[in-house]
Chain A
Amino acid sequence: ETGVTQSPTHLIKTRGQQVTLRCSSQSGHNTVSWYQQALGQGPQFIFQYYREEENGRGNFPPRFSGLQFPNYSSELNVNALELDDSALYLCASSLRIFSGASGTQETQYFGPGTRLLVL
């Protein structure tokens, strides 16, 4: 049990629709990352939020967008859904700290995911 929760657990949408997925971070964590996992594949990084600002983005189009709130929870929004967006969407939270000479260290803890099916 990581303390990271996601909602909803499952979702069915049709092409062209919009969807919002939600994530609550583990208590004390300040960073949220989102990943897309297609069936039979490893997770692919979508983007990351640190202190409410986007702090890195993978190779995903702008119709994938997000937010992080003051309590460090987060949303992932996907517009104009396509069939290929069908996947498991994973949220991970972490604590970004700066440890001097050894730099930044963090470990990401994942939620159970939201399974999205686009018809």
Chain B
Amino acid sequence: GNSVTQMEGPVTLSEEAFLTINCTYTATGYPSLFWYVQYPGEGLQLLLKATKADDKGSNKGFEATYRKETTSFHLEKGSVQVSDSAVYFCALSNSNSGYALNFGKGTSLLVTP
């Protein structure tokens, strides 16, 4: 079955530091891959997505590249801001799951001034 593994948090960074949150997945076929962000007390917001191998999703300075050879979709940002403090979820969907999203456990990010 499908599964997503994210690095354990919490991750604490100083403002303007480089961010990497690792995500690896197990799935058959060619899943679509997503990063969602959840701010305190809120629902999930789509941050970026990639639907095929070597695609790069990007949004608001965040990037992630779909690497089929390493089954990974790591999230990166060159310079984080305090406002980026949130929980980040990696997720996948494919026809095997009926296009339901399979989420990782989430990685909490705290950015300090």
Contacts of B73 in A (CB 8 A): none
- B44 and A48 contacting across the interface, CB-CB below 8 Å: no
- Given A33-B100, A110-B36, do A42 and B105 touch, yes or no (CB 8 Å)? yes
> Which chain A residues border B103 with CB–CB below 8 Å?
42-44
Contact partner of B106 (CB less than 8 A), chosen from A31, A35, A42, A48, is A42
Nearest CB in chain B to that of A103: its residue: B95
B residues within 8 Å of A by Cβ?
Answer: 4, 32, 34, 36, 42-46, 49, 51, 89, 91, 93, 95, 97-106
Q: Are B97 and A56 in contact (CB under 8 A)?
A: yes
Q: How large is the interface on A (under 10, 10 to 19, 20 to 34, 35 or more residues)?
A: 20 to 34
Contact across chains for A106 and B99 when beta carbons are under 8 A apart: yes
Question: What are 6 A-B residue pairs whose CB atoms fall within 8 Å in the complex?
Answer: A41-B106, A42-B104, A48-B100, A104-B95, A107-B34, A112-B43
Interface of A is mostly: strand
- A108: Cβ under 8 A from any B Cβ: yes
Contacts of B93 in A (CB 8 A): 106, 108
The interface residues of chain B lying within 8 Å CB-to-CB of A2 are 45
User: Could you tell me if A56 and B49 are in contact, using CB atoms closer than 8 angstroms?
Assistant: no
Nearest CB on B from A66, distance (A): 14
Kindly state whether residue A96 has any CB partner on chain B within 8 Å.
yes
- B105 touching A56, Cβ below 8 Å: no
Report yes or no: A104 in contact with B101, Cβ–Cβ below 8 A: no
Instruction: Tell yes or no: A87 within 8 A of B by CB.
Output: no
Contacts beyond the supplied A108-B93, A110-B43: 9 A-B pairs with Cβ under 8 Å: A35-B101, A41-B106, A43-B44, A44-B103, A48-B98, A90-B44, A107-B32, A110-B46, A113-B42
Find chain B residues with CB under 8 A from A41 CB: 105-106
Q: How far is the CA of A48 from the CA of B99 in the complex (A)?
A: 9
* A17 contacts the other chain (CB 8 A): no
